[in-house]
Amino acid sequence: MSSEILVRELEPDELPQRYELSRLAFGGPAEAPPSALEVRADRIRYGAFDGRGHLLGTATDVFHHRWWDGEARPVADVGGVAVAPEARGRGVARALLGHLLAGARGRGAGLSFLYPTVSALYRSAGWAMVGARRSIDIPTALLADARSRAPLALRQGTAADLAGLSTLRSAVGRLRNGILIPTQGTEAADSFPEGIDGVSIATDDGGDAGFVAWGRGSGYHEDAVLTVAEIMARNPEAATSLLALLSSWRSVAPTVRFIAVPSGLLSHVLPLEVAREHRTSRFMGRVVDLASLVRARHWPAALTGGCTIEVEDRLASWNHGRFELAVDGGRGELSPTTRAPQVTASVNGLASLACGTATPEMLAEAGLASLHDPAAAGLLRQLMVGPPVELLDYF
């Protein structure tokens, strides 16, 4: 069946058909929202067609940039993968994903992320489970202790603060892997998101030190919830001051819901031991182009060495085969070789390695790698970049 599938970018007049497929897969209103029918420069919507020109499935490559290894890197964030009921199980999704990966490689993406509805499909296509986006509920009264320790002044944020908040996001994001960088000219960069009732900013002598974007919700009884859509702080004083502000709602909103909280400072000041998990959305990662990932890595300057690695990747042929990994003077290169491999790894395993969720030894334990020469594991371990990936956004 796969030989009969044609995958290409959808034309504007085909977007209503795409929406209908998406509606059947994920639910939604019968009438498409305007955003679903807009041609957008920040993404490609692909369609899979049979020999008669019938739309069988769709997938979207979103052109995001994320902080990775201290730099803004292009990634392929995959969304909207939907297949017509009558065409499921016939290789449509796999054909779409293969085409999407080739296009993502062409624009320089080294990694891909997605939120799966069925992990087995994506695992078979090379993605691996690498993290989770969690929203948590904390009793507002238990934030009250922060009020006595709030050292920074707070002010109301306006649209004029958007550029400054973007700078603050960068200061927080570049220390982590996976934090989204909003593209200029998009709604996320030019305005506060829908549902935000206020943005409060903590300031110190260096300017903006942290901010919280919140939605008040409805009611003021025991079921009232104050929703924190985004919170970031670049020092402990800002984090504590923002929590003090949130605690002031304790008489009318007994619960504060944090949609996603970056690792680090906030996790050290929040009373996470009393947090109740509201929702967990697990995400998967994949290596789009291993060679570009190796070149982009900030390798330790003192590290010199090499190893041969055999990669199994049946969907992205450019990753499949035997390669020589050579590192010298802070630079890494991956080149084809015919030498016997010291390490064999699946592309799923390399995704876990690159995203900081598994060591080479752990991959071997899981059957995702074979360490023919254990001495090579040390160099391969250097592919792990800093802390584990965290996605605070949903796409």
Q: Which long-range contacts (CB under 8 A, 24 or more apart) does 187-196 make?
A: 189/162, 190/162, 191/159, 191/162, 192/159, 192/162, 193/229, 195/227, 195/229, 196/229
The whole-number average pLDDT for the span 83-104 is 97
How large is the average pLDDT for residues 367-394? 91
Q: What is the mean pLDDT of the chain?
A: 93
Q: What is the pLDDT of residue 347?
A: 97
The answer on pLDDT for 106 being more than 90 is yes
Could you give all domains of the chain from N- to C-terminal order, each with its CATH number?
2-126 (3.40.630.30), 134-281 (3.40.630.30), 289-381 (3.30.1050.10)
Residue range 280-290: mean pLDDT, rounded:
98
Give 135-178 pLDDT, tens digit per residue. 999 999 999 775 567 789 999 999 899 989 999 999 999 999 99
Share of the chain above pLDDT 90, in %: 86
Report which secondary-structure segment, H or E, holds 97: helix 92-106
pLDDT at res. 1: 45
**Burial label, 306 (beta-carbon count in 10 A; 0-12, 13-18, 19+):** middle
Measured at the CA of 169, the angle between CA 166 and CA 175, to 5 degrees, comes to 145
Rounded Cα–Cα distance for residues 139 and 223 (Å): 11
Predicted confidence (pLDDT) per residue in 233-279, tens digit: 999 999 999 999 999 999 999 999 999 999 988 888 899 999 999 99
CB atoms within 10 A of CB 260: 18
More confident residue, 37 or 193: 37
Question: What confidence tens digit (pLDDT) does each residue in 331-345 have?
Answer: 999 999 999 999 999
The average pLDDT across 91-96 equals: 97
* Percentage above 70 pLDDT, the chain: 96
Does residue 114 register a pLDDT over 70?
A: yes
Distance CA 249, CA 244 (A): 10
Sheet holding 343-346, edge to edge: 331-336, 321-328, 305-312, 343-346, 369-371
Task: Tell me what the mean pLDDT of segment 103-127 comes to.
Answer: 97
Say what the pLDDT of residue 7 is.
98
Distance CA 207, CA 7 (A): 50
